[in-house]
């Protein structure tokens, strides 16, 4: 009898984790840092050029597709500097938040945010496996995979699916929303099905009620702002405004705030990926200057992770890769 894809993924992941436990030298303690308090936004912050539209974004998209599919694969047997850097520079950012409209009486909630994995030529599967093993030792209640799982084509995810299985051990599950790169090549529905096969659920313009320690909250996910078809009416249709929103692009934040969403989790920006010392980001992905860290506007809060992967260039400088562990409590 043939095993189902989910069964095969789980078996190989369990085998991998067993091997990891026997090789303690391969597991490096996470470097942790506390995020600065939320930056209070006026709503008027704008960059002169919109990085999400026009020729700049068009060039960025097709250059990234061309390089990730046709150039770097030729170098893979000889050169992979980013996984080397990722294994040594990856860290954990931590935050404790009390959103104003968070459900009263709800037990503290620990959410692990992992964004911009960018499976593909820059990322070795074994490096990701070790990182996820370390992260799951933190015992999060829920995991949010915040989009851009792949770089240039949805089939890049097949090499890392085994390594994502441990994320589903979180008591409240692992959840995914689409990013712009998840639409660059192939059928995004294939990506959704492959994630579902290992137990990671996708919310695309949708929401769900999650029960936690006798209380409940609404988790929502909106489609990507650049390549998808975001639909707020669908997000709000079942349960009203989500208490917690997955939105790959942080530029959804002001729309979320206007609809009464207390907390939004995003990625997309890579924290600039390359930043000059005490200077600006080289790669600016947010029109509204929401580059990394914590932000507030009105009664709403936003978390923007630097993410894990890299695009265009196999390097980060001044914006080390990270995951974010957020502890959420009622005000």
Strand partners, 297: 300
Q: 57 vs 163, which has greater pLDDT?
A: 163
**Does the pLDDT at position 18 exceed 80?**
no
**Does the pLDDT at position 164 exceed 90?**
yes
70 assigned to some structural domain: yes
Q: 101 vs 6, which has greater pLDDT?
A: 101
Residue 92: CATH number of its domain: 3.60.21.10
301 assigned to some structural domain: yes
Q: What is the mean pLDDT of residues 188-204?
A: 98
CB atoms closer than 10 angstroms to residue 49: 12
**Does the pLDDT at position 103 exceed 60?**
yes
Counted domains in the chain: 1
103 assigned to some structural domain: yes
Instruction: Give per-residue pLDDT as tens, 62-101.
Output: 776 776 667 666 666 655 678 888 988 999 999 999 999 9
**Does the pLDDT at position 179 exceed 60?**
yes
| Residue 161 C-alpha from the chain's centroid | 15
Q: Which of 1-5, 153-157, 197-201, 287-291 has the lowest mean pLDDT?
A: 1-5
Domain encompassing residue 263: 48-328
**Does the pLDDT at position 125 exceed 80?**
yes
5 falls in which pLDDT band (50, 70, 90)?
A: very low
58 falls in which pLDDT band (50, 70, 90)?
A: low
Exposure letters 181-208 (e unless 16+ CB within 10 A, then b):
bbbbbbebeebbebbebbbbbbbbbbbb
33 assigned to some structural domain: no
Q: Looking at residue 124, what is its pLDDT?
A: 87
User: Can you give the pTM of this predicted structure?
Assistant: 0.87
Q: What is the mean pLDDT of residues 164-171?
A: 98
Strand partners, 246: 221, 265
9 assigned to some structural domain: no
36 assigned to some structural domain: no
Average pLDDT, whole number, for the chain?
Answer: 87
Q: Which of 10-14, 19-23, 66-70, 319-323 has the lowest mean pLDDT?
A: 19-23
Q: Looking at residue 258, what is its pLDDT?
A: 97
Q: Looking at residue 91, what is its pLDDT?
A: 95
191 assigned to some structural domain: yes
């Amino acid at each position: 009898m043939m095993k189902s894809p989910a069964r095969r993924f789980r078996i190989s992941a369990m085998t991998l984790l067993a091997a990891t436990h026997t090789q303690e030298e391969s597991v490096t303690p996470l470097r942790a840092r506390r995020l600065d308090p939320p930056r209070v936004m006026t709503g008027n912050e704008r960059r002169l050029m919109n990085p999400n539209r026009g020729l700049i974004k068009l060039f960025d998209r097709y250059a990234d597709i061309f390089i990730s599919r046709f150039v770097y694969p030729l170098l893979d047997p000889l050169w992979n500097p980013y996984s080397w850097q990722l294994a040594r520079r990856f860290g954990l950012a931590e935050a404790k938040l009390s959103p104003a409209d968070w459900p009263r009486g709800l037990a503290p909630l620990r959410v692990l945010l992992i964004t911009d994995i960018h499976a593909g030529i820059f990322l070795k599967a074994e490096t990701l496996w070790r990182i996820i093993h370390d992260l799951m030792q933190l015992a999060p209640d829920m995991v949010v995979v915040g989009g851009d799982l792949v770089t240039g084509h949805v089939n890049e995810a097949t090499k890392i699916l085994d390594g994502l299985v441990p994320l589903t051990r979180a008591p409240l599950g692992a959840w995914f929303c689409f990013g712009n790169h998840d639409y660059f090549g192939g059928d995004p529905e294939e990506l959704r099905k492959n994630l579902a096969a290992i137990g990671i659920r996708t919310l695309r313009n949708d929401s769900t009620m999650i029960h936690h320690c006798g209380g409940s909250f609404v988790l929502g996910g909106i489609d990507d702002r650049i390549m998808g078809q975001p639909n707020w009416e669908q997000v709000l249709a079942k349960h009203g405004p989500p208490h917690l929103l997955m939105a790959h692009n942080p530029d959804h934040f002001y729309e979320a705030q206007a609809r009464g969403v207390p907390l939004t989790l995003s990625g997309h920006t890579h924290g600039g990926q390359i930043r000059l010392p005490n200077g600006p980001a080289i790669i600016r992905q947010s029109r509204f200057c929401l580059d990394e860290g914590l932000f507030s506007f009105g009664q709403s809060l936003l978390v923007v992770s630097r993410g894990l992967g890299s695009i265009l260039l196999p390097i980060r400088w001044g914006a080390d890769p990270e995951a974010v562990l957020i502890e959420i409590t009622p005000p």
